[in-house]
Amino acid sequence: MTQTVDEVLIEPAQTRLDLREPPPVGMPGARPVRAERAAPKVPRVAIVHDWLVAYAGAERVLEQIIACFPDADIFSVVDFMDERACLQGKRVTTSFIQKLPFAKKKYRGYLPLMPLAIEQLDVSGYDLVISSSHAVAKGVLTGPDQIHISYVHSPIRYAWDLQHQYLRQSNLTAGMKSMMARIVLHYMRTWDIRTSNSVDHFIANSAFIARRIHKVYHRDAHVIFPPVDVDAFQLNEIKDDFYLTASRMVPYKKIDLIVEAFAKMPERRLVVIGDGPDMRKIRAKASPNVEIMGYQPFSVLHDRMRRAKAFVFAAEEDFGISVVEAQACGTPVIAYGKGGALETVRDASHAEPTGIFFDEQSIESIVDAVQEFELGAVAFRPADCRANAQRFSIGHFRESLRAHVGHVAPHFVLPPMREDDIDDRKGEVKEAAQASDLRVLAVDQSGALGGAELSMLEVVKNMRGDVQTLLFDDGPFRIALEAVGVKVDVLDGAALGNVRKDGIKRPGAGMLGGVLKLLRGTLAKSRDADVIYVNTQRAMVIGAIAGLISRRPVVWHLRDIVSEDHFGRTQLTIIKWCTKLMLEHVIANSTASATAVTALTRLREERLDVVFNGISADPFTDLEAVAQHELRDRFGLPRDAFLVGSFSRLARWKGQHVLLEALRECPEMHAVFVGAALFGEDAYEAELRAFVAEHGLADRVHFLGFQHDIAACMKAVDIVTHTSIMPEPFGRVIIEGMLSKRPVVAARAGGVIDIVKDRENAILCEPGDARALAQALDELAGDASLRERLVHAGYANAVNRFGTRRYVESVEKILNRVASKKRRRVAV
């Protein structure tokens, strides 16, 4: 049984747990005294790991052990890792199980053979052997002149205290299979105890596991908490009104108890992230105040952890990485008071508390703890939570491990870590240097400056390395790219002009020739690139084919909800098979976009990331000193009117007609429409103008057309609206409205849910509901304090969560990772 990230991983901070005094030499249980070497030496180091099949908790620890001993050789029972960055380019020596039938998927079925397999790995030529063990790695054979240090994530839990739970979960409580399983586990316990005698020094990943080691092996263990990538989580001082729990949905995690507890507290909101065998059962127990999000990529988990008022944790874990990650975000923890949580959370008995404990794994106990948290008797400061999490950083782990090895083996001169592995920041520098060598071909279908193009512009103008941009149409986008120094080529994409997302208009006979021209042009540019970065659906199809031919990896930045609401069946079929067969990776701009593409393509989670668009605050802050009446004069808008703005291309699904209908119920307001009909939607614009004329609204409706200075337009109005009648992939205009320090009213659907907390940083209305929109506008017009509160919270939300630096770095990191993965394949 492998251990997941939040089961195994985690912490640094060196602690010595002396469970008993070591017996004198010659007494039972004493460790033999080694003869002193004549002179110190640099040891040959072997690192032995149970099995390499996925990058989970134990593998994160292994990665840092390798960083501490960069010249070590690696051994494992099997090696089927796809994500090999943690191995730092090292070849792994494996056992005979590697070549057995079905070993890649059924390696656990060979558990009875693993003791034999681990004993066949020859490490006799090494001075220092470090095993990373939650199963059999510690059983590797070593001689009397070798030092064996075993970092134990846990003794084989399903063979010891969790045997009966394991048998129940595996439906092995009775029958012949149960008998065989019990015999195998008995054999594993006997072997596990015997091989513990060959370990010279035990390291446990927590005091909890140290106690388990003492119980099972009758040996003391030094505690070095596993490494948590604390720097990947950012402190957030501003918390939203919801609780969070995140975990794989398996019985011992007790997610069902948390969900049932919040069902008894309908006034409290709970967000649940994770997936697993218990998902259906947990969904059935969820009440309206509980949001079950399922599996989410890191960016979404990180966002919710930063914003949650508290993280709820009900499992009895060996360590509990998610607890540390939450604290790294400045989020306090409400945890079950047993296991590793007692070592990672500080309760009210500490001067700087970071959480509270509940005593029982029960609904009532969780409810009581949440109510206690709400009463606020204990004050939690985000900075204290972050400081506590820092005790478990990668740097602390490395320092502690090398210090302990130096202590137990003083006759060894430890090899220095490589310069770029000295500390966490050096690793970041290394990654940045790699990214600076990256050659990217960025492809977009449009010459217009829509939301997708503005978001791509932010990436390519700030990305390090060599970026070449290819457009299938000329226009303002090309001018904007060249203005910031980005190299641009324009191909003739007119043949794609009749291809629509909804599939209503069929492509003409000349399309094939036009597509071939685009393909040839894209191929010619792609041969000098490390990765092809495609920004829109049509560009994705051309880029995917070009990448297949040129053998370049293709990354699609998905900025659409690929569903029947937005695309025709033919287009969805093309998207599905291009994504499944030709793309290396997908970046989705929202949870809604990610969910839709996963439903369509069944894309594996390791091939998908959610990266929220980043929007620069600079254009808005540059206008802080400009009076609103000056901006209104610039655009010919009335100085004294109450102006409600709509900022989007004119398209039916964008819902400008909803604002016009609402305006009829708000006679004291004016509407300002910024945007043009870009993609054959002139009939809709004519329909809007006809509605204005028919209902006598001409003196209160202002069509400004396409505008370059969106910041100035937004600051000229009093309220920013978002009125899409179909789910929006992201909702860029909402972030811009918040940055302009204007209250925002938005449609409750799609990516908007990632941005807005209703009545905390904006107001949500149901899509297409003109009356609800009118009521929200009237309320805002009459309540200055509400406008001020939404403006303050909205601006903080936009700056903290949707900044350009994090956005660009996230995209750049993905592109660099994909390119590096391709290079490793070529090298092999």
Residue 5 pLDDT? 32
**DSSP letter at 813?**
H
Residue 704 pLDDT? 95
| CATH class of the 618-802 domain in this structure | alpha beta
Supply the pTM of this predicted model. Answer: 0.50
Per DSSP, what are the bridge partners of residue 765? 747
Residue 170 pLDDT? 66
Per DSSP, what are the bridge partners of residue 48? 75, 131
In the chain, where does the domain assigned CATH 3.40.50.2000 lie?
Answer: 230-392, 438-614+806-827, 618-802
Looking at 567-617, list the stretches that DSSP marks H as alpha helix, in order from N- to C-terminal side: 569-582, 591-601
Per DSSP, what are the bridge partners of residue 336? 358
Give every strand in the sheet of 642-647, ordered side by side.
701-705, 669-674, 642-647, 719-721, 744-747, 763-765
Positions of the chain with pLDDT lower than 70, given as ranges: 1-39, 157-159, 161-163, 165-167, 169-170, 418-436, 495-511, 679, 823-828
Fold of 230-392: Rossmann fold (3.40.50)
Residue 34 pLDDT? 47
Residue found under tokens 């005790």:
391
Q: In the structure encoding, which two tokens stand for residue 139, read together? A: 């059983």
Q: 435 with 816: CB under 8 angstroms?
A: yes
Phi, psi of 289 (to 5 degrees): -85, 5
Longest Cα separation, the chain: 103
Fold of 438-614+806-827: Rossmann fold (3.40.50)
Which stretches does DSSP call E strand in 676-817?
Answer: 701-705, 719-721, 744-747, 763-765
Return d(Cα 691, Cα 452) in angstroms, integer.
29
Residue 165 pLDDT? 66
| CATH class of the 5-23+38-224 domain in this structure | alpha beta
Return d(Cα 623, Cα 699) in angstroms, integer.
28
**By C-alpha distance, which of 516, 517, 574, 580 is closest to 554?**
580
Residue 499 pLDDT? 53
**By C-alpha distance, which of 647, 649, 657 is closest to 680?**
649
Q: In the structure encoding, which two tokens stand for residue 71, read together? A: 């010249």
How far lies 748's CA from each of 722, 738, 745, 756, in Å?
10, 16, 9, 9
